[in-house]
Chains A and B, each alone.
Chain A
Amino acid sequence: MTDSAASPLEPAIANLIVQTLKLKVDPSAIDPTQALFGDGLGLDSIDALELSLAISQTYGYQLKSSDPEIKAVFSSLRALSTAIEKNRTK
């Protein structure tokens, strides 16, 4: 997955991340290409689990660690938004 064009879902996903994880940041201030985990936004595996539930409930996309693209999917807001757009069932 590459950093291609922005997904139209980006602002909604930024909101979902901030609200689900109760982050103290402005959703529009998240750099869409910045890393979500580790050094970037600083999320961890518990956040990933929590976020996966919100994504599944809102968009019907069930994340799986065995998905070979999972690392890319979680690499940035842009990649995540693109993956949700592609795999959403609702």
Chain B
Amino acid sequence: MPDAPLIGPYSPDGILAWEADGPRTARQFLSDVSRLADSLPDRPAVLNLLSSRYEFLVGFAAALLRGQLTLLPQSRALQTLRRIAGDYRESYCLTNRDEPVEGIESVALQRHGSLAGWPKRIPQIPLDQVAAVAFTSGSTGQPMPNKKTWGALTAVAWATGARLGLKASAPASVVATVPHQHMFGLEASVMLPIMHGWVMHAGRPLFPADIRDALADVEGARILVTTPLHLRACVTEGLRVPPVGLILSATAPLPRSLAQEAERHFQTEVHEIFGFAEAGSVAERRTVAGDHWRLLDGVRLVRDQQDQQDLQGRMAWKAQASYLPAAIRVPDRIVVEADGRFIVHGREADQVNIAGHRVSLGDLNQKLLAIDGVQDGVFFLPDEGAEFVTRLIACVVAPGKTVEDIQQALRTRIDPVFLPRPLLLVPRLPRNETGKLPREALLKLAEPHGQGEG
């Protein structure tokens, strides 16, 4: 089987990453990786929870060398971690020091300063080796595993770089506000820079002033990998930032007006990536240039033969690529033009996106119903208003329980971004004769609480 090197074209003393206290050379990185690889326990899979992007990468690379799967949970909720650890026998967590995960064997990353020699040959990873498993939220309440081979991760990194006209030889630095444990973050903030021999900033800036400082840390063409939410914050705050070469946004649709403001504010092009955890990044567009997405090289769309057209004549599609084991259903309703470009018409009904995090409402409902004392309950998304982020609402039937009881139980089960606001305790849900919950009835139920106290 062919293989591909662990990292792109770095010289031994070229900067591979930028941590809070300064640069890390490629030599230091390979040295850190080989030391950690030697000390990892002999297990098939690892939950890499390291919060520094550099340390995460060291853990990921060490796991690759040892042939261990890196598991990427979609949330840090304790029950999610335990469920995944339970599904992958003998898996363990790689964690920050002093942050072991209760109930799962945790190995803390140790950092030592000593430096090993530059290897004769950069370690090679077989293209068919499953490098990572990204979990998505399925309607059954079970985390759904999506296997990512080293071939898929490297192919997407190269295809993304090529589409954006970025060259491996030109010095560039990637600063990212997105988590590296999520699929887009892994692809755009980790794989993209290390395959091209660029600098990867280890931080995960949140506030506009953090983003400015992280950009100022690094040199060369700066690439900001981010989300519409962070772009909105930067534009609103209006802080002056160092020159940025390119902005890459994903995880939620970027409104064209915001893209225009962001291009003005940062004086650069804003490109969007369309993708989903099951297939990874599949298409790109410059948002201000129009609604159409262009597929990345190597990706094709085919009709989903099992699917019926919906009322608007739209059909489900599948994405195909040589590095994907099978054609994968696109979780959005899309309309594809003859030339392969396409327009997105929103997520399928069960899927919602809150601040860039996608989840199945069915999954959330299952987790809600699994709580002790909950007799019935439902999550739904109200119509979007003027808020920064529209949050979910939950209506719950749980006699004898308080709102705080339920919220507390939810906190251990779901990502905080999906916690309901508000959570309403009701005597019964407005189910119709078929047991379904009409959206209008739910909105009406939530209405008196929309204004003020509740």
Which residues of A does B touch, CB under 8 Å? 22-26, 38-39, 42, 44-46, 48-50, 52-53, 56-57, 62-66
Contacts and interface: CB of A to CB of B under 8 A. Distances in A.
B371 interface: no
Q: Lowest 10 CB-CB distances: which A-B pairs, in order?
A: A44-B416, A64-B209, A62-B209, A50-B388, A24-B454, A65-B210, A24-B422, A52-B207, A46-B355, A63-B207
13 contacts: A22-B421, A24-B422, A24-B449, A24-B453, A26-B453, A38-B411, A44-B419, A49-B207, A53-B233, A64-B209, A64-B213, A66-B210, A66-B213
Contacts of B193: none
A42 B411 CA distance: 9
Nearest to B205: A65
Nearest to B454: A24
A15 to B, nearest CB: 13
Interface residues of B, number: 30
A65 B233 CA distance: 15
B407 interface: yes
Given A49-B233, A65-B206, 8 more contacts: A24-B421, A24-B449, A39-B408, A46-B355, A50-B389, A53-B236, A56-B208, A63-B207
Contacts, number: 65
B417 interface: yes
Question: At the interface, is chain A mostly helix, strand, loop or mixed?
Answer: loop
B229 A49 contact: yes
Interface string B219-256: 00000000001100100110100000000000000000
A52 B236 CA distance: 11
A22 B233 contact: no
A42 B388 CA distance: 17
A42 B419 contact: yes
Contacts of B213: 64, 66
A62 B239 contact: yes
B207 A46 contact: no
B94 to A, nearest CB: 22
Contacts of A64: 207, 209-210, 213
Contact of A62 (B20, B207, B388, B452): B207
Contact of B206 (A22, A24, A26, A48): A48
Contacts of A25: 453
Contacts of B208: 52-53, 56, 62
Interface in B80-121: none
Interface hub of A46, A56, A63, A66 (most chain B Cβ within 10 A): A46
Nearest to A45: B206
A52 B209 CA distance: 10
A46 B389 contact: yes
A50 B210 CA distance: 14
B433 interface: no
A45 B416 CA distance: 9
B237 A62 contact: yes
B387 interface: yes
A55 B210 CA distance: 15
Contact of A46 (B20, B388, B411, B453): B388
A39 to B, nearest CB: 7
B192 to A, nearest CB: 23
B388 A44 contact: no
A56 B237 contact: yes
A44 B207 contact: no
Contact of B209 (A46, A57, A63): A63
Nearest to A56: B237
A56 B387 CA distance: 18
A56 to B, nearest CB: 6
Contacts of B236: 53, 57
Contacts of B205: 65
A6 B24 CA distance: 45
A66 B355 CA distance: 23
Interface string B365-390: 00000000000000000000001110
Nearest to B449: A24
Contact of B411 (A39, A65, A66): A39
